[in-house]
Amino acid sequence: MGTLTGLNSRTITGHLVTLLEYPRWLIDRDVDFTDCHLSGDYEAGDSTCVDCDFGRACRWLAANRDVPTLESPLEELIEALTTAANYVRRAHGAAAGHDRRCDCDTCAWLREANNFLRARRHRA
Ligand SMILES: [Zn+2]
């Protein structure tokens, strides 16, 4: 890998915290709260939220708005990464021109996230 430097990359949790930075930025950029009657304040019981196009992304943002710390439970971070990877894959997969060799930031992040999740699964 070699792309991660500093204290954060030395532990699994640190690596996850670093990996979660990109989707937080990306999803925050993707989601448009202009027409949101809750101003992006996701509410599970709200019928508008259930049908909203941004539902999954918005829910993720609401749950991950705060930057995780090295004390965050590992399972929570893995769950957040899994959801983010699924979202990014779907949102990004719709755009043309991204194949296995693409090295744009999003594809590079997806590959890294998938590698990490795959490695975790084998260990579990
Ligand atoms: Zn790409």
Model pLDDT for residues 35-93, shown as the tens digit of each residue = 899 988 888 889 888 888 888 889 899 889 888 888 889 999 999 999 999 999 888 87
Q: How many angstroms separate the CA atoms of 71 and 68, rounded?
A: 8
CA of 50 to the centre of ligand 1 (A): 29
CB atoms within 10 A of CB 81: 21
The chain-wide mean pLDDT, for the chain, equals 85
CA of 70 to the centre of ligand 1 (A): 30
CA of 86 to the centre of ligand 1 (A): 15
Which residue would you say has higher pLDDT here, 87 or 9? 87
Share of the chain above pLDDT 90, in %: 38
CA of 38 to the centre of ligand 1 (A): 32
CA of 121 to the centre of ligand 1 (A): 25
Nearest to 83 by CA among 63, 112, 103: 63
Q: How many angstroms separate the CA atoms of 60 and 28, rounded?
A: 10
Q: How many angstroms separate the CA atoms of 1 and 48, rounded?
A: 42
**Single pTM value for the model:** 0.81
Residue 9's pLDDT is what?
Answer: 52
Residue 75's pLDDT is what?
Answer: 92
pLDDT higher than threshold 70 for residue 124: no
